[in-house]
Structure 1
């Protein structure tokens, strides 16, 4: 494919126009591009109050006292609430471990922790009142790394832990530990002709979504509350919110509002409970909108990590063994840390065949900012390390780096270090071949026709810092493996309600799920599935809310697989009901109703030979058919806590990248020229969306490679750069050409053979960029992100 980004090898569309396989346009696309789309921060309600959160100014301290008197006395303030004002005995929440207080009690555990909340008639009034709350702290020593967290005399972040992980961790400041042990590493190491070791540091990344946290809570006449919220998982929010409010779940009605990006940062609660508490306390609607500064404190981040790897290989290039230790910093609260540990450990060997493995992954409790889900969690950190190791080992053996990877690449039938057999296509070697075969970008693109330098094409860009002196090109490769869906025995299911009826003289399908549309394009895919399965042109997608069963989280590359599977399942059930209606009405007049395989296409009932039997309008008449059904993928199982063995993941997905960079070695400036990608997607339900997901994930991987990192002061555990002034993300000027080669090898276990795609490109793009920079500079570069001082030594 060329540099335009048009995907290749994509299946043609279905026989129904606008069905699966076609690049249908997003219904929200034009509104978002023109700025007319209504995000959660745009919501308004008559007589609405504004909420504000007071956050801790220190990372670890006892709370001596809180004085809210002056804030309460401020004109326009309707309520001020602290921990003591919470209405029930349930005062904590959490995705898996309920260790996060709604408002701090006794002590604060990280910089920016919520301490009090205020409701006022104007946002500025609320902010000024919050600033008048006087909190006296008695500061405590901070825990910021493994040494301070696991020392014999370490202060415990959470005293009296009683969660289900405490029995298998060696220290209470370790959230979760997962070993993966297979074979005999010590014996296998004796067969190695070459051994390489590496210690890698992975920085803390922010999801950096452009729409800050926001929502509107409206008290209801029945004593309940209606919450309009930007989130990734409505039903998980509901499960955590209702007990704190002391309400049954059916009295906490949640509706998804416009989401301005997520990437994992909206899996945890932010202002949901606070808005509901203030609305119920005041009897008025309460809206909370974070500013960017608050957003950096109001959601979890990607786990920073220390990774210690040892690989061995024979002189022929075959891997002999892997020994690894992965230490993830989970920050002050558990969030998704247990699942991140599971992914990092079980995928820590990468997409390679290695029979003898000893991997340990842990997540720490510290006083650093809480960390949880972010695109590709756990697998991203591991991929950075094992791909650096592959380059080192290939060089030791004396092999081409791509050929070395291909020699050791897993394939269908490979046994994972967890003992799970990979029972669907795993085209790792082919993806590497394809990405290496893609045309290289021309050299010295910064030279104009007159041989003058176009600084826009140089490292440093319009800063005009170099005119090509000292600029060296480098090329690097990487490939990664990511799981799809919830794992380790989690009951991963989704629900879809589908109705078919005649509206305005034509058949219409309506699809209702609780899937959070966060920009991934699920609303488009659901309509495509309905058109394909029900043969109708008109499909209505109802807003996501909790009036339908759970769709799970929009994360883990799972929504098209699981909620798409649910929509497909419900459509199939509706189709059978519609055909049964037709058989009752017309079957006695035409034998094909009983003998042929009947299809719904173009608003008609047709035989497999194409004969039209009836119009759907006549079949349905004034009746409607509606079915709400759950759909589950095949079950997984928890990893053994001693050996890590188990069928832990339902599906694997793979992507490979080639990065081409230019580096000014004197100034330490990097420009990524191209990030070519080859990825297996199983089946491209919407080719244009597939391309967007791959290019978006690739760009986020570029960010962590060369610019993105939340800086936490190791002495105070305070965040030093909570703004887009100091936390840099890639802009269009930083984004390289991203040509994509898409492979479609169906997974027979998945709906339509599809494979989750959103996260895999984030894995391999980061180590590919680092490999290219190493190739250009000859430096080891064992950390992300790479900064100028790492390249110049200054």
Structure 2
């Protein structure tokens, strides 16, 4: 990913080797880079069958008939199931709203919807059999955008809605609507000396994880099923799977298999229910692995959006008001759209102080592909719009773009548009100052006495330019992202910690249901155990449903919440070990003195795990095990009329500076550098922190200049479901990413930490767009930017280059 620069302000680690604050290596790192790590798609079971899904070829249609006879007659086929074969009355599932059918019934609502499933003795046999299933469709009109979805005669995507949002929306094809109203934006607009407006379009992005969806279901002797699955949330899957199978939850045993990336795309079910249904029907293990084509249809995507913004400012640069309307396309099923709407609305003003706000955010039901969770979760789309607005307004006022932002930046104590105070550090102005102060990369790095190095030029090794018409641009952006689940969700995690002596060494085992999807939680949990218990040897048990829920690996919450649970459980283990020691040795033991242990009224007072380092004789023949839940402070739902409420647990902030070079004649862009400054509260593992920031930054780069799922507006069919036509950044596209890390503790959080991975995804995209605008003078109000946007005649805006 290029060079990292030197991270600053990262504190030293704990006194225990490999503890909190140290850059410990991942236990799975070497296996992954050498290709030896076992991912879900590598699983194997004796005598297993292969599952295959038949998907709809149209986006909206009545199902007239389904004929499975030819598929069933094919040699090697063990089962073919349709909606009518489902074993219980529960035939739908969903994260919040159970509106997604296990298999289509009566009609299909989007291109690629599952219609039937097949189990056969070979994957090619299963695919051929699925192709022999005959489905007769009667196509229906499609709704693909707000105008077609909310027209008086619009076809209803869901005819008989009963969810709790339906009474609060003006049309049945609007899934959820959330206003945020504080002050009087209309009246405040009269006081503005300058007003800027913008209409912005944000494309549909895919999570593009490298390991496609896969899982293995094994029927058990007790009538239940064991499911080994790549997912983000084991217990949420369990809650949705068991009712469809007609089994109690304790008979659906789930174990996390190797996950090859997630980014929100594995929060919803994919083949979990299908594999289990086939395994229970055939009595044999069933493995399902999507190919890349199927993967594009098998998970939700980032919501495409239309955003309409108006900002005002006084002559001295102070913001007067904000009016905004954010329209998210949720596609055919609800998934996480209601929560994404809440995020987009509540964070839609950005990290700025503006007293008079009127924001409306809504999500549509359409016949486009379902959209849901993706890294940044609604805040990404809003950040793209409000940061473009900040540049426009700064230019109108006649101020430096960074200084304009710093003048209006929120700080600790500022009020969000929801009325919630920001009660932890909010170093927005400082992050902007730091990222602007970073040294700029040298000009014309591609030039040499022997000619241009095409690898450093826009277009790269395609050798399309030798520097003619190449212009540099620099752009800035900053964003705000919530951490953890919001709006009154009971967001908790569970950890089981066991301490015992093996040989003559204390050993700790940590067991949680946290999905390790590449974020490094397995490393952090071991660091916490070493810090709190003073041990070296820590074993991380595989994640499964035999321990309490850890919630989802999303919303930048796992280190905060599951890390908090591990820390809490370790503290209780420490207390119990010391109680055993007092019973055995009284109030004196050599280790007590070594660790400077204090006893006050029979209670242990100590500064951490160091106290246990010499107590192996205490646990001889005994072990201590604790399972503990941990919750952060509660939140509350936003008022559905005003959007007021204490909706979020914590906020994180990141700022970027992008440096680009643009060939203005050919429309080619080369991002030279994406510098980032971010406050992380506490860097539990500095190396992982930098990796998370660089990874999130790169995904933001992708949506700025490359990534978009294209959906035909007439048929709602996906046009580019492959990595041939859906482009993601490679190492050749990824710029240098220097990182400046601040550690300003949030006293509400364990160790003062903040969630890290999502915030850089917000601000990297608008920073790149700002830099391209700076180079070209074009308005560029959509993502991703394509060559034709840079070479065709476009409206120009006020710019330093105009």
* TM-score under structure 2 length normalisation: 0.96
| Structure 2 contact 574–609 (Cα < 8 Å) conserved | no
Distance 1:350 1:608, change over 3 A: closer
Distance 1:713 1:162, change over 3 A: same
**Per-residue deviation, 1:9:** 1.4
Alpha-carbon separation, structure 1, partners of 2:604 and 2:351: 46
Deviations 1:82-130 (CA, angstroms, capped at 9, x unpaired): 0000000000000000000000000000000000000000000000000
For the aligned residues, what is the CA RMSD?
2.5
Q: Map Cα deviations across residues 479-517 of structure 1 (whole Å, 9 max, x no partner).
A: 000000000000000000000000122000000000000
Structure 1 residues 588 and 287: alpha-carbon distance in aligned structure 2, compared to 1, 3 A threshold: same
Query: How far apart are residue 775 of structure 1 and its match?
Result: 0.2
**Cα displacement string for residues 141-179 of structure 1 (whole angstroms, at most 9, x for unaligned residues):** 000000010111111100110001111011110110000
CA contact (8 A) 1:534 1:601 kept: no
Q: Is the 8 A contact 2:2 2:734 kept in 1?
A: no
Q: Is the 8 A contact 1:16 1:601 kept in 2?
A: no
Distance 1:474 1:602, change over 3 A: farther
| 1:569-608 deviation digits (Å, cap 9, x = unpaired) | 0000100001101111112446996999739999999976
SS of 2:342's equivalent in the other structure is helix
Check whether the contact 1:78–1:282 (CA below 8 A) recurs between aligned residues.
yes
CA distance in 2, matches of 1:599, 1:360: 57
Alpha-carbon distance in structure 1 between the residues aligned to 2:355 and 2:72: 65
Mark the CA change 1:432 to 1:575 in structure 2 (over 3 Å): closer, same or farther: same
Q: Distance in 2 between matches of 1:659 and 1:363?
A: 31
* Structure 1 CA distance for aligned equivalents of residues 268 and 171 of structure 2: 25
CA drift of 1:4 comes to: 3.9
Question: In structure 2, the residue corresponding to 1:639 is in which secondary structure?
Answer: coil
Change (3 A) 1:620 1:734: same
Please state whether the residue corresponding to 1:216 is helix, strand or coil.
strand
Change (3 A) 1:747 1:610: closer
Cα–Cα, structure 1 residues 305 and 2, in superposed 2: closer, same or farther, change >3 Å?
Answer: closer
Is the 2:306–2:326 Cα contact (8 Å) retained in structure 1?
yes
1:186 deviates by 1.2
Asked whether the 8 Å contact 1:537–1:603 carries over to 2, the reply is: no
- 1:614, 1:452 → 2: CA distance? 63
Q: Is the 8 A contact 1:605 1:615 kept in 2?
A: no
Aligned equivalents of 1:613 and 1:159: distance in 2? 63
| Larger CA deviation: 613-622 vs 413-422 | 613-622
Any idea what SS the aligned residue of 2:616 has?
helix
Task: Encode CA deviations 1:279-304: one digit per residue, 9 max, x unaligned.
Answer: 00000000000000000000000000
Give aligned pairs, total: 791
The equivalent residue for 2:796 is none
Deviations 1:163-199 (A, max 9, x none): 0111101111011000000001111001000000000
Partner of 1:72: 72
**C-alpha separation in 1, matches of 2:593 and 2:448:** 73
Q: 1:327 to 1:615 in 2, by over 3 A?
A: same
Task: Label 1:159 to 1:624 Cα distance change in 2 as closer, same or farther (>3 A).
Answer: same
**1:615 counterpart SS class:** coil
* Alignment correspondent of 1:652: 651
2:532 is equivalent to residue 533 of structure 1: yes
Instruction: Tell whether 2:707 aligns with 1:708.
Output: yes
How far apart are the structure 1 equivalents of 2:7 and 2:687? 8
Distance 2:79 2:739 in 1: 54
Q: Distance in 1 between matches of 2:549 and 2:598?
A: 30
Distance 2:578 2:386 in 1: 54
Deviations 1:52-109 (Å, cap 9, x if unpaired)? 0000000000000000000000000000000000000000000000000000000000
Once the two structures are overlaid, the 10-residue window that deviates more, 448-457 or 478-487, is 448-457
CA distance in 1, matches of 2:473, 2:644: 40
Alpha carbons 2:535, 2:613 under 8 Å: kept: no
Q: Secondary structure at the match of 1:679?
A: strand
Structure 1, unmatched stretches of 5+, are none
Preserved CA contact (<8 Å) 1:536 1:601: no
Q: Decide whether aligned partners of structure 1 residues 59 and 46 sit closer, same or farther in structure 2, where only a CA change above 3 A counts.
A: same
Q: Structure 1: how far apart are the matches of 2:483 and 2:778?
A: 34
From the superposition, tell whether residues 370 and 563 of structure 1 become closer, same or farther in structure 2 (CA, over 3 Å). Answer: same
Change over 3 Å in CA distance of 1:8–1:463 after alignment to 2 = same
Distance 1:546-1:314 versus aligned 2 partners, 3 A rule: same
1:508-566 Cα distance to aligned partner (Å, 9 max, x none): 00000000000000000000000000000000000000000000000000000000000
Sort the Cα spacing of 1:69 and 1:2 in 2 relative to 1 into closer, same or farther, 3 A. Answer: closer
* Contact 1:535–1:602 (8 Å) recurs in 2: no
Give structure 2 stretches of 5+ with no counterpart.
791-801
Secondary structure class of the residue paired with 1:611: helix
Query: SS of 2:143's equivalent?
Result: coil
Residues 535, 601 of structure 1: 8 Å contact kept: no
Q: TM-score, normalised by structure 1?
A: 0.97
Residues 228-307 of structure 1 correspond to what in structure 2 (within 5 A)? 228-307=228-307
User: Helix, strand or coil for the counterpart of 1:63?
Assistant: strand
